[in-house]
A and B are shown apart, each in its own frame.
Chain A
């Protein structure tokens, strides 16, 4: 037996991967299958899952009622609009984050080697600071009596302008700001990594061939940094689609996203079957966007940031 183990490389491999594979199967794959099964079930009056096969949950998500499928008569856009809102928020967040992260990543990549570490340090600290704490910081800033209104009021008083505090917390803008803030570092690091890899000789060659700074950026820097942008987009888009903390604390009841919908089904409303259907729709939506995106721009190898 021991002899066989020593010789059989494939058996060794299986034994080495067995614990990890077990974990992946029991805690990732089986839960996903279970979620699928539950989404076809029905909720008992006590909030328990009754395992049957019905498409009711999906029909409800589409805004229809199981016994009335005529979209003109009984269409309720509530859930469809929540899905659409999450999708557009994730899209907007990603675009803004790319626009903010790129110049900063470029700045660090072009900095002298010794300074780079200092700037990277400054990017890593917010990244490692707890997610919930960073949302809390924005609650303090955006409140009606919060820091931003305080500064604005002080500025207004300097110029003698009358000032009424702005209502910023619990608005869609607050959620967007919070999302951008939370996920910005996830975009900076992969873009920096791919920018840093570019061979400086390419810039010299471009300059020798008469390209100006803008043309060099457009024809060399940007294309070569695309893997970083793609990786960053995946790292930002997917979590924004599923997050419920930011919208919960900064959006209140005003901004409900798929994440909030799912969370409430599992905790407050107690309909796990509907929550499961919603989370599968969320998963399929993110997978479609990710696949489409990676097909178009190639798969980002910088996906794992340390």
Chain B
């Protein structure tokens, strides 16, 4: 029996599902080249290069030609600020959650202590609880504590604790840590202890063994945990929505805000850039993984 045999039903279904997955993305990207400013229907590509020229709501000519909306995007200060915020939040929360999450994984896999079952269980909370419940819980905590601190110490307006980058980062760490821990823990489970024992037999102390043997072997797990944390943070909408404040708008929050008001091809251009970055990232990641397993 051929192990690769698939019935016509399976093949047709696969083709249809892939069409379903990609048609919306394709349309979204197509509209980022739209001549129509209102972006309701696709009116064709901007073909002429030259100084910006409009005809009603149609862009007839642009210095960037068909890439008019992409050039327009780079001049949008709000987008640039939002992109910077998104990256800052993702970097900081990834670094913190990777470090403490790896520590926790080692503790859970290699050590015995009293509250271990409780600690392990607490890591599953963000997975089995809807994000919105977590979001409003954290919002309630911050707003109660901040109100209390601000009134108790009678802080002047510019020193008052408010929602912003800090609260978003702290919350992102909270939902990333469990994923890092679980990924690293999975890696530790299939771990051959004989390498570490050999190092100890050869006279290395625990610290040297950890640094020279355990950590390098753990690194792929730590890296994939970090990558997961990074993408979760970049992508997050719900938790950010409830914990963000003035000056801490991220890209998903910015796009959501736009969609409720006005839609120009600029949003499509932003989406296209985003999708291309994802495409490149997934491609690189698969390359890395293949090299590791090969």
Q: Is A134 a contact of B24 with CB atoms below 8 Å?
A: yes
Interface residues of A in 1-42 (CB under 8 A from B): 6, 9-14, 16-17, 19-21, 23-32, 34-35, 38
A110 located at the interface, meaning its Cβ lies under 8 Å from any Cβ of chain B in the complex: yes
Instruction: Count residues of B near A (Cβ-Cβ below 8 Å).
Output: 99
* Contact for B17 among A24, A100, A125, CB less than 8 A: A100
Q: By the criterion CB–CB under 8 Å, are B103 and A104 in contact?
A: no
> Is the beta-carbon distance between A262 and B7 smaller than 8 angstroms?
no
If A28-B125, A103-B13 touch, whether A132 touches B256 (CB-CB below 8 Å) is: yes
Complex interface bits, A176-190 against B, C-beta within 8 A gives 1, otherwise 0: 000001001100000
Select B251's contact among A23, A130, A150, A243, beta carbons within 8 Å.
A130
User: Would you call A61 an interface residue if the criterion is a C-beta within 8 Å of the partner chain's C-beta atoms?
Assistant: no
Secondary structure at the A interface, as helix, strand, loop or mixed, is helix
Contacts of A21 in B (CB 8 A): 104, 115, 119, 122
The residue in chain A whose Cβ has the minimal distance to the Cβ of B270 is A133
Chain A residues 169-221 with CB under 8 Å of chain B are: 181, 184-185, 200, 203-204, 207, 213
A10 contacts across to B, CB distance below 8 A: 111-114
Say yes or no for B54: interface residue by CB 8 A criterion: no
In the complex, the answer to whether A20 meets B132 with C-beta atoms within 8 Å is no
Could you say which residues of chain B place their CB within 8 Å of the CB of A287? 128-129
Query: Is A29's CB under 8 angstroms from B24's CB?
Result: no
Chain A, Cβ-Cβ closest to B287:
A117
A282 within 8 A of B: yes
Q: Which residue of A9, A28, A276, A303 contacts B134 across the interface (Cβ within 8 Å)?
A: A28
Asked if B104 and A282 sit within 8 Å, CB to CB, the answer is no
A130 touches B111 (CB 8 A): no
Tell me the bound Cα distance from A184 to B19 in angstroms: 13
Size range of the interface on A?
Answer: 35 or more
Among the 9-residue stretches A52-60, A67-75, A77-85, A137-145, the one with 4 or more Cβ atoms under 8 Å from chain B is A137-145
The total of Cβ contacts below 8 Å across the A-B interface reads 281
Chain B residues contacting A155 (CB-CB under 8 Å) are none
* B-facing residues in A252-306 (Cβ within 8 Å): 259, 262-263, 266, 272, 275-276, 279-280, 282-283, 286-287, 290, 303-304, 306
Among A156-164, A222-230, A234-242, the stretch that binds chain B is A234-242
Question: Given A23, A138, A184, A259, which contacts B132 in the complex, CB threshold below 8 Å?
Answer: A259
Q: Enumerate chain B residues within 8 angstroms of A234, measured Cβ to Cβ.
A: 127-128
Q: Which of A17, A31, A141 interacts with B119 by CB under 8 Å?
A: A17
The answer to whether B28 touches A16 (Cβ under 8 A) is: no
Q: Does B279 make an interface contact (CB < 8 A)?
A: yes
25 contacts between A and B (CB under 8 A): A13-B113, A13-B116, A17-B119, A20-B123, A28-B134, A29-B122, A31-B134, A31-B141, A106-B10, A110-B3, A122-B22, A126-B21, A130-B271, A134-B24, A134-B25, A137-B24, A141-B24, A147-B27, A203-B3, A242-B131, A242-B238, A243-B132, A279-B130, A282-B133, A286-B130
